[in-house]
Structure 1
Amino acid sequence: MRILYVDCDSLRPDHLGCYGYHRDTSPTIDGIAAEGRRFTNYYVSDAPCLPSRTAFFTGRFGRHTGVVNHSGTNADVRHRGASRGTSTGGRYRTLPRELLNRGHTTALVSPFPQRHGAWHVLDGFEEYRDTGGGGAERAEVVAPHAESWLDDHATEADWYLHVNFWDPHTPYDTPQEYGNPFEDDPAPEWLTDERIAEQYESYGPHSARDLHHGYLYGRGPDDLDRTPDEIADREDFRRWVDGYDVGIRYMDDYIGRLVERLKDAGVYEETLVVISADHGENLGELNVYGDHQTADDKTCRVPLIVSGPDVEPGVDDDIHYHVDFAATLVDLAGGSVPEGWDGESFLPALVDGESDGREFLVTGQGAWACQRGVRFDDWLLLRTYHDGWKEFAPVELYDLDADPHETENLARERPEVARRGLALLEQWLTERDTDAATGRNGGNPDAPRALVDPLVEEIREGGPTYLRDATDTYAERLRETGREEHAAEIERRDGVVEETPAEYLR
């Protein structure tokens, strides 16, 4: 089987035409979706980049690998302990390793391993091409590496090529000569001037008033042509969204070049083409702009579009993890899903259109906050342990059908639903602890710290990556802008949420 996996960093599905977006951001991706199967409730188990790709390639939840952060102890996969054999095969073998075992030529085009020290994701890749920019390179740099690889291998019988594009990721630096195809298109209407005004008086990394990364460290805004210094009104919001959407369209053009390479080689119809992402992107939701700092729907729900031989065209609305798709790929390739994976194949949904989703799922965030989300029915529950210097309650509840942009926390209005979500989270955590103690699914009792929750361990180490050593400089920024009470709050408790869910819902 030939498999082209296009991994688009920071791509949220609702900014693609095939998912109903009003702007023409994605003609190539939309064409692939029209021929294939589109999944509408597809979530990464762990966010952002390093936790997500680790989970995907290993088929295991971050609760089991330990990878939930971008630095510190929990940026590395927990050692296997006494159960480690003389190789990295066996029950915990990776997705590319299993495809390699099945006779596939495997290749990765990406700077990701270098960017995050994520050398474990290379296990099973025969060829690795680092595109050299550490994630700052645009599509015109990435695509030639993939095109060259396809020129050499496209007509071979079995291969897996995984290609990372980064253009939807901040800093939104699409070349100025590309222009703005959306300058006459309105920005999404959900974010009103009234809501922006409320966000402006609040605080947090990448919030409306502290939009750029430099504000955390005593620097000013990034000097970028396509983005404003802050979000003070809807015109600023439109400019910000334009930067994101132009990046998608620019990337889409280069994805089109890969499709043309397959067609020129005469193998497009015989190739499984996958479009997905490592995480989404908050564009104002929860007062986060242009980043992926939460365990919510906008950070953790990603597109999944699959087109090719044996795929049943249509739309799948069931709930799935991205680790489940890793298992599905192995199943589709005729391999054996490793016993040590948490992912469960949903092959019947892909090839026959059968309902084969999860009853609920749990997402996690560790690099910008310590938070878990529970997705069930139309609901999203957020349980926050460390708020990442944002105004999060210990428990938040959103009706995603009525309120897809998460503007109204209903936890206190619907406490019975919130308690159900908390019960599901407790069930999930208990199951994962049992896995870790017994070696079921992705658990490994031989691993050091196997029974320790990595999010709790992260708080002990000093909290999420991007807040460490920034308390003084960000507190100074808050005081300089008249937000003294927020500065005092982050200095007092440094993001650790003190109120319990029971107290909050009382």
Structure 2
Amino acid sequence: MRILFLDLDSTSPDHLGCYGYQRNTSPNIDRIAAEGVRFTNYYTSDAPCAPSRTALMSGKFGIRNGLVGHGGTAGDMKLEGPERELMGRLTRGGSLPSYLQLMAGLNTVLISPFAQRHSTFHFYAGFNEFYNTGKYGNESAEHVTPVALDWIERNGHKDDWFLYVNYWDPHTPYRAPMEYGNPFENEPLPEWLNEEVLERHKQRIGPHTVQDINIDYQEKTYNNKVAPNYPRYLGEIADMDDMKKMIDGYDCGIRYMDDHLGRLFASLEEQGVMDDLIIIISADHGENMGQLGIYGEHATADQGTCHLPMIIRWPGMKQGKVDEGLHYHLDLLPTIADMLGKPVMTDWDGISYGPVLKEGSDCGRDYLVVSQCAHVAQRSVRFRDWMYIRTYHDGYHLFDQEMLFNLSEDPKEQHNVAAENKALCMEAVYYLNQWHDEHMRRSGDDRDPLWTVIKEGGPFHAKGYLTGYIQRLEETGRGQHVEELKRRHPSELPQEADSAAVLAQKYLHAKMM
């Protein structure tokens, strides 16, 4: 048995040809999709990067494994505690690679810098070999492909391996080399991205809205600065020409990566193993390219960020099948166990969708709950045609606490219809509470890491940014939003320390006046 897992960072299904995109971004991915099963309602349980991959590898929701953010306490998994054995659960089959290693006897191989990028060294658990491509996730395909080709040429003909390859080209900043050109130079934008939409998006504020696409980690603010080394990635979308440059930059990243995937497939064909190779193509999260008015980021618990591509070509199983059931990415672990006829780990949160691959039968869930705690703090419910988003920290976007979108009519999440659909919102909150209660009961403690993030000062990519951003809003003629930001986030502004002595002094001063 041979398995190739392609983890394509920040790849949105909305921008792949096999998912209906008008541009030819993904011919090699599309070919594999035609030979296997394509899942249309597949979601990460926890976004963005580190929470998503931790949930995938551990088989547990972030509310249980503890890692939901990019810093602070919630930037690490929860400790196993007093019941931890000499070898922790991730070694004993509790992670995807260790399970394949122990239960299926596969040589497990990783080509990725991800663990070092986020100090998520649990990501290595269960890999026999790992190759750090060395640029902390800033590498382009030309840095990854030679490493993967070298391994394939040396080992591809052998039996019993699992090769996990991580590409980064669709991730910001869009880094396809300029000499690659622009295959989409003469192609129009998607129809929905028009001048009316842009003008409406100019009224929004927050990181990665059209006037503040850049996060300035040095100055602790959001602005429109441009990194000269990445000309495809803009700091601001001022007009439709900028809009086209932004979308083209992202699409070029996908197409450049897809070209390199073609090189891997060609090498596997030369090795004579392509016909019986299991190929899994997915991502850690998508990329908002206008959804919620956000561009070039994966910063929310919405359709744009949490909706994933998932393509599985499993020789001998269904071909050319499209599955519309609701599934989590962490459902992959019990699915593989099911396909291999092996036992499922009892503490995994996933449910097998093996029947889709074997028989083409529907086995989707009734609803999903997806979370984001690195840029905002949100939990959302995906059910029937709806995406309900509940915001606990808005990341300075001034989102409504409740948002509801009809994805069949409004797939780009432009019109919040929560106010006129209270019954649907109440239904979603019931699902959210049901999910929360179930997984808090299954947790080994009473800590919901979403609230840990909030109590430690907010999401990592918003923590400490409010003062600088208020100054930018005032300097750029958008000061009308400042009072509402202050009202929502009073504890995040510089405040005088009101000790008992200071309060007494203020009281006496007021009496004397």
TM-score of the superposed pair, with normalisation by structure 2: 0.92
CA distance in 1 between counterparts of 2:341 and 2:293 reads 45
User: 1:247 aligned to 2:253?
Assistant: yes
| Worse overlay, 49-58 or 424-433 | 424-433
Number of the residue aligned with 1:170: 172
Structure 1 residues 180-189 or 330-339, which shifts more? 330-339
Native 8 Å contact 1:212 1:222 kept in 2: no
Q: 1:263-318: per-residue Cα shift (whole Å, max 9, x none)? A: 11111111101110000000011121100011001100100011131331111000
Match of 2:305 among 299, 303, 328: 299
Tell me which of 399, 403, 419 is aligned to 1:392.
Answer: 399
Instruction: Kindly state the Cα deviation for residue 233 of structure 1 after the two structures are TM-superposed.
Output: 2.4
1:157 is aligned to 2:159: yes
1:180 alignment partner AA: N
Residue 398 of structure 1, CA deviation = 0.4
What residue is the counterpart of 1:451 in the other structure? Answer: 446
> What pairs up with 1:135-284 in 2 under 5 angstroms?
135-214=137-216, 216-217=220-221, 220-223=225-228, 224-284=230-290
For 1:25, the aligned partner's letter is T
Aligned to 1:131: 133
Report Cα offsets for 1:209-234 as digits up to 9, x if no partner.
Answer: 00112285376333332233311222
Per the alignment, residue 368 of structure 2 pairs with: 361
RMSD (CA atoms): 1.6
Could you give the per-residue CA deviations for residues 151-191 of structure 1, whole angstroms, max 9, x where no partner exists?
A: 12212221111110000011112111110000111111212
Indicate how the Cα distance of structure 1 residues 288 and 495 shifts in structure 2: closer, same or farther if over 3 A, else same: farther
Cα contact 1:95–1:330 (8 A) shared by 2: no
Instruction: Write the distance in 1 (CA, Å) between the matches of 2:136 and 2:265.
Output: 25
Give 1:502's aligned residue.
Answer: none
Check whether the contact 1:9–1:167 (CA below 8 A) recurs between aligned residues. yes
Does the 8 Å CA contact 1:99/1:335 hold for their aligned counterparts?
no
Distance 2:371 2:99 in 1: 26
Shift in alpha-carbon separation, 1:364–1:495, aligned structure 2, 3 A: farther
Query: Displacement, 1:137?
Result: 0.4
Match of 1:332 among 328, 336, 339: 339
Q: Does 1:93 align with 2:94?
A: yes
How many residues align? The count is 485
Letter in 2 for 1:94: S
CA contact (8 A) 1:91 1:338 kept: no
Contact 2:92 2:99 in 1 (8 A): no
Which segment is superposed worse, 74-83 or 308-317?
308-317
The 3 A distance-change label for structure 1 pair 289 and 389 is same
**How far has the Cα of 1:393 moved from its partner?**
0.7
Read off the aligned partner of 2:246 and give its amino acid letter: W
Partner amino acid for 1:350? Answer: L
CA–CA distance in structure 1, aligned partners of residues 246 and 371 of structure 2: 26
Match runs of 1:7-86 below 5 Å? 7-86=7-86
Residue type at the aligned position of 2:435 = W
Distance change (3 Å), C-alpha of 1:396 and 1:91: farther
DSSP-derived class of the 1:274 partner: strand
2:496 aligned residue? none
- Classify the secondary structure of the residue corresponding to 2:415: coil
Q: Give 3-state SS (helix, strand or coil) of 2:275's partner.
A: helix
The one-letter code matched in structure 1 to 2:124 is L
Mean alpha-carbon deviation: is it higher for 487-496 or for 256-265?
487-496
Aligned position for 1:409: 416
- The aligned residue for residue 500 of structure 1 is none
- Contact 1:11 / 1:168 at 8 angstroms: preserved in 2? yes
Q: Give the superposition deviation at 1:474.
A: 1.4
Query: Amino acid of the residue matched to residue 474 of structure 2?
Result: R
Distance 1:383 1:429 in 2: 13
1:487 maps to a residue whose letter is: V
Identify the residue that residue 472 of structure 1 maps to in structure 2: 467
2:458 corresponding residue in structure 1: 463
The ranges of structure 1 where at least 4 consecutive aligned residues each deviate by more than 4 angstroms after the TM superposition are none
| Contact 2:367–2:381 (Cα < 8 Å) also in 1 | yes
Q: Which amino acid aligns with 1:354?
A: S
How much has 1:144 moved relative to structure 2? 1.0
The letter for the 2-side match of 1:50 is A
Counterpart-to-counterpart distance in 2, 1:52 and 1:493: 28
CA distance in 2, matches of 1:383, 1:304: 26
2:308 alignment partner, SS class: coil
Q: Deviations over 1:126-164 (max 9, x none)?
A: 111000111110001001111111112212221111110
Q: Distance in 2 between matches of 1:398 and 1:259?
A: 39
Identical counterparts, % of pairs: 46
Match of 1:485 in 2: 480
C-alpha distance in 1, partners of 2:52/2:477? Answer: 37
1:453-498 deviations in Å (ceiling 9; x for gaps): 111111000100111222222111111101113233333432999x
Give distance in 1, aligned partners of 2:21 and 2:306.
Answer: 18
Contact 1:269-1:308 at 8 Å conserved across structures: no
AA at the equivalent of 1:298: G
Closer, same or farther: CA 352–206 of 1 in aligned 2, 3 Å:
same
C-alpha displacement of 1:235: 2.1
SS in 2 for 1:317: strand
Partners of 1:99 and 1:68 in 2: CA distance = 25
CA contact (8 A) 2:207 2:222 kept: no
- Asked if structure 2 preserves the Cα contact closer than 8 Å seen for 1:107 and 1:162, the reply is yes
Residues 221 and 56 (structure 1 numbering): CA distance in 2 closer, same or farther, change over 3 Å?
same
Contact between 1:45 and 1:323, CA under 8 Å: does it hold in 2?
A: yes
- SS of structure 2 residue aligned to 1:465: coil
Contact 1:50 1:69 in 2 (8 A): yes
Determine if contact 1:294/1:369 at 8 Å carries over to the other structure: yes
Change (3 A) 1:15 1:383: same
* Further displaced range: 349-358 or 19-28: 349-358
1:44-94 per-residue CA deviation (whole Å, 9 max, x = no partner) reads: 000000000000000000010011001000011101112211102487711
Contact 2:93 2:99 in 1 (8 A): no
3-state DSSP of counterpart to 2:391? strand
The unaligned stretches of length 5 or more in structure 2 are: 493-513
How far apart are the structure 2 equivalents of 1:181 and 1:362?
37
Residue 439 of structure 1 corresponds to which residue in structure 2? Answer: none
SS of the equivalent of 1:86 reads coil
- State the 1:204 CA deviation: 0.4
Mapped to 2, the partners of 1:358 and 1:423 lie a distance apart of 16
> Structure 2: how far apart are the matches of 1:422 and 1:169?
32
Asked if residue 426 in structure 1 is aligned to residue 433 in structure 2, the reply is: yes
